[in-house]
Homo-oligomer: A and B are copies of this chain.
Amino acid sequence: MSFTIIPKKNGLENVEGFFFDGKCAGFKKDEPDVGFIYSDTSCRVSAVFTTNRFAAAPIKHFKNYGENFETNFILLNSKNANAMTGQKGVEDIGDILSSVDLPLKNPIMSSTGVIGYRLDKEKFQKVIKEFDFSTKNSDALARAIMTTDSFKKEIALEVTLSDGKKFNIAAIAKGAGMINPAMATMLCFVLTDSDIPKEDMDKLLQGGVEESFNKISVDGDTSTNDTVMLLTSAKNPYSKEAFKEAINFILFELSQMILRDGEGANKVVAFEVNSAKSDEEAIKASKALSNSLLVKTALFGEDPNWGRIASTIGASGIECDEESLEIYYDDLLIYGKDRRELDSQTEEKAYQIMKQDSFKITCNLNLGQGSYTSYGCDLSYEYVKINAEYRT
Q: Which residues of A contact B (CB under 8 A)?
A: 51-55, 81, 83-86, 114-118, 177-178, 180, 182, 184, 219-224, 291-294, 297-298, 300-301, 303, 305-308, 310-315, 318-320, 322-323, 335, 340-342, 379-381, 383-385, 387-392
B residues less than 8 Å from A182 (CB atoms): 315
Q: Which A-B residue pairs are the 8 nearest by beta carbons?
A: A115-B307, A301-B388, A54-B314, A297-B387, A222-B315, A52-B314, A53-B314, A219-B293
| Cα–Cα distance between A200 and B232 once the two chains are bound (Å) | 68
Q: How close is A347's CB to chain B, nearest CB, in angstroms?
A: 11
User: Which residue of the partner chain B has the closest CB to A288?
Assistant: B221
How many copies of the polypeptide does the oligomer hold? 2
Q: A52-B314, A117-B342 are in contact. List 18 more A-B contacts (CB 8 A).
A: A52-B311, A53-B313, A53-B315, A53-B320, A83-B311, A85-B340, A115-B306, A115-B307, A116-B340, A116-B342, A117-B341, A118-B340, A182-B315, A222-B315, A224-B307, A297-B388, A380-B384, A381-B384
Q: CB-CB < 8 A to A219: which residues of B?
A: 293-294
Please give the distance in Å from A26's CB to the nearest CB on chain B. Answer: 18
Q: Report 19 cross-chain contacts, Cβ distance below 8 Å, ordered by A residue.
A: A52-B315, A53-B318, A53-B319, A54-B314, A55-B314, A83-B307, A115-B311, A116-B335, A117-B342, A177-B294, A220-B220, A220-B291, A220-B292, A221-B308, A222-B311, A300-B384, A303-B390, A379-B384, A380-B384
Closest to A87 in B: B323
Report A362 CB to chain B, min CB distance, Å: 17
Q: Are B381 and A54 in contact (CB under 8 A)?
A: no
- The reply to whether A315 and B221 contact each other, CB–CB distance below 8 Å, is yes
Q: Are A114 and B305 in contact (CB under 8 A)?
A: yes
Q: Which label, helix, strand, loop or mixed, suits the secondary structure of the A interface?
A: loop
> Which of B116, B298, B322 lies in contact with A307, CB distance below 8 A?
B116
A303–B84 touching, CB < 8 Å: no
* C-alpha gap A348/B117 in the complex (Å): 17
Bound: A308/B81 CA distance, A: 12
A313 vs B182: C-alpha distance in the bound complex, in angstroms? 15
> Cα distance A223–B310 when bound, in Å?
10
A392 cross-chain contacts in B, Cβ below 8 A: 303
A118 and B343 CA atoms in complex are apart in Å by: 12
A223 touches B86 (CB 8 A): no
Which of A221, A379, A392 has its CB near the most chain B CB atoms (within 10 A)?
Answer: A221
Q: Is the CB of B313 within 8 A of A178?
A: no
A322-B86 in contact (CB<8A): yes
Partner of A84, one of B53, B55, B293, B335: B335
Assess the A298–B335 pair: CB atoms within 8 A: no
A368 CB to nearest chain B CB (Å):
15
Q: Is the CB of B340 within 8 A of A86?
A: yes
When distances are taken between beta carbons in the complex, the residues of chain B under 8 Å from A323 are 86
Q: How far is the CA of A85 from the CA of B339 in the complex (A)?
A: 11
Scoring A86, A340, A342 by chain B CB atoms within 10 A of each residue's CB, the highest score goes to A340
Nearest residue (CB) in B for A264 is: B384
Cβ contact of A178, chosen from B177, B294, B303, B381, cutoff 8 A: B294
Residues of B within 8 A of A318 (CB): 53
**Most chain B CB inside 10 Å of its own CB: which residue of A53, A292, A305, A340:** A53
A179 → B minimal CB distance (Å)? 11
